[in-house]
Structure 1
Amino acid sequence: MGEEIDKGATETRRVTRLIRLPEVQHRVGLGRSTIYRWMAEGKFPKPVQLGGYAVAWAEDEVQAWIATRLK
């Protein structure tokens, strides 16, 4: 009759939003080639593959990168 409630499942989960290149460019103020060059040099977060040639960046990783640049 009554189901047991998993208390861990009722906690608020933070969902990572994925953002595409135009939004990344807007947020960081860099061009596409600079973003990709810095990724290759390990200076910028790498995107996740969505399928085919589509990629997106984790919003929290981009925000963390911006925060480190402001320090």
Structure 2
Amino acid sequence: MRRVGLGKSMIYRLISERRFPPPYKISPFASRWSEREIVGWIADVKDGFEGKKRSI
């Protein structure tokens, strides 16, 4: 949440809309995201700030 600047609800809403990378289950009670996928997502969103409207 800190890394991407979004709240938990927004992250999971974007996942359900297929606009954010889904987490990987590492145990029945824990999930983690791929660093590479998150960095890629941030780069895609950042491109939207450079002269364009923000589009998450």
| Band the TM-score falls in, shorter-chain normalisation | 0.7 to 0.9
Secondary structure, counterpart of 2:18 in structure 1: coil
Unaligned runs of 5+ in 1: 1-24
Partner of 1:39: 15
CA distance in 2, matches of 1:70, 1:32: 20
Tell me which structure has the larger Cα radius of gyration.
1
Unaligned runs of 5+ in 2: 48-56
Identity of aligned residues (%): 43
Please give the residue correspondences for 1:30-69 in structure 2 after superposition, counting only pairs within 5 Å. Answer: 30-69=6-45
* Equivalenced residues, count: 47
In the TM superposition, residue 63 of structure 1 has moved relative to its aligned partner by: 0.4
Cα RMSD (Å) of the superposition? 0.6
Deviations 1:8-59 (A, max 9, x none): xxxxxxxxxxxxxxxxx11110000000010000010000010112100001
**2:15 matched to 1:29?**
no
CA distance in 2, matches of 1:70, 1:31: 18
Larger RCO, structures 1/2 (Cα 8 Å, 6+ apart): 1
Runs of 4 or more consecutive aligned structure 1 residues displaced over 6 Å after TM superposition: none
